Amino acid sequence: MYCVKPREVTRRSALVTSEDQALDDLLFAWFCWEAQYSGEKWYSNRDTTCGGSASSRQWMSTDDIHEASVDAWQMQQVAAAMEAISGDHALAIRVECRNRRGPGVWRNPRAGLRQPLAYAAAKVAIRPWIVKFGVEY
């Protein structure tokens, strides 16, 4: 059938099954990024003998350099969104991500058995902040 204005076809990524899964992946990426950083003076999470060493970016492609800078910006925005939500919601997100990263032995003392519901409420609370800060997921 011919029409003057063709239909707009919106295609979703084949790698993401739902918007909630994309938000889960973004929060987990933020948690892993945050776990690598230690802001305490004199208490680094890296070996001090090689603390100043860094690999040259000359072998990286322009796309890799750009992607790394975009990822770093996104993680900073997610960190700002985490600071904007309540402590209970932030705790629910951190417990869920910690359980995704390793053995699922971490428990939320504030939520107890309602941890899945607390995590769902935390995702609802953080979603507007992430959108406000301009992060696309």
- Does this model's pTM top 0.75? My answer is no
- Where exactly are the structural domains of the chain? 19-37+61-132
pLDDT at 116: 87
Average pLDDT of span 24-36: 90
pLDDT at 101: 83
Using 50, 70 and 90 to split pLDDT, how confident is the model at 126? very high
pLDDT (tens digit per residue) in 73-98: 999 999 999 999 998 999 999 999 98
CB 78 within 8 A of CB 134: no
Distances (CA, A) of 100 to 17, 95, 105: 18, 9, 10
pLDDT at 107: 78
pLDDT at 81: 95
pLDDT at 19: 78
- Whether 72 has a pLDDT exceeding 80, the answer reads yes
Of residues 130, 126, 105, 129, the one with CA closest to residue 115: 105
d(CA 78, CA 83): 9
